[in-house]
Structures are given as structure tokens and as C-alpha cells.
Amino acid sequence: MKAITKLTIAKDLFEQNLSNEIKTISINVEDKQLHIIFHDGIHVYIVYNDYEEYSYSIIFSKLELDRCRFDNYDNRWEVSSRPHHFHPRKTEDAIESPMKGSPRQDIKNLIELLKSGKLKEIPS
């Protein structure tokens, strides 16, 4: 499946499930990126390429490491879900990830994590 198709699926799922919380949502075709800004100031960037790589980044503020990200762009993290991994908020480390790069499954999971507030948690 092409990156733009994946982004369109992701955009539709966000609009169907979080439309009241979304301030703006747009696809940058050139960069193959979906950018969502929520009314509470959180930014979400969804990136796919045509090589089965993805990144789901949630930016909470402009403070250093005040973000979390699911991706499979690098294979250096020693986690059981390798190359898929998750960078929790406020750390450079990576842990196991439930994401696999499938927009239909991953975006539903991401939406639930955003709704639950679990992504805002800072590891101790």
C-alpha cells in the first residue's frame, strides 16, 4: 500500500474518532506526512514512506524530549518487537511497541492511547 493511501486512512480515522478535539488536520503530500493539531496544543505527526517504514510522533510541548514516538526507522533497539519500538515521553530510550505499520490497526490503537491519556505519562 502506498504511503499516501496510508495517510488518507489515518486522516479519516482521526476525523471519525477525534473530530471534536482536532483544531487542524492536513496531509503534506511531498513529505508524506499527516499533521494534526489538537485544541489542547498537542501535535501529532504521522509519517509513512513507500518502504514500509512509519513514524507516529506526539509532541506535547517545545521542551526537550517532551514527546513520544512509535517507529521502525532504525533497527538498533534491543526490544522484542524489533524493528518496531516506542520512545516514551522524556527519554531517549526505546521499549517494545504494539505498532506494526498498518494504519487501520495502528491508528485505532494510537487514538485509544491518546484518548486514555497514557501517552502523557512520564516513565519513572
- Residue 124 placed within a domain: no
* pLDDT score at 71: 96
Say how far apart CA 24 and CA 44 lie, in whole Å.
11
- The answer to whether residue 110 scores a pLDDT higher than 70 is yes
- Residue 123 placed within a domain: no
pLDDT tens, residue by residue, 43-53: 999 999 999 99
* pLDDT score at 124: 65
pLDDT tens, residue by residue, 56-109: 999 999 999 999 999 998 878 888 899 999 999 999 899 999 999 999 999 999
Domain count, the chain: 1
- Residue 96 placed within a domain: yes
Q: The whole model's pTM is what? A: 0.93
Alpha helices by DSSP H, listed for 2-124, are 3-18, 103-116
Say how far apart CA 77 and CA 14 lie, in whole Å.
29
Could you list the residue range(s) of the whole structural domain that residue 21 is in?
3-118
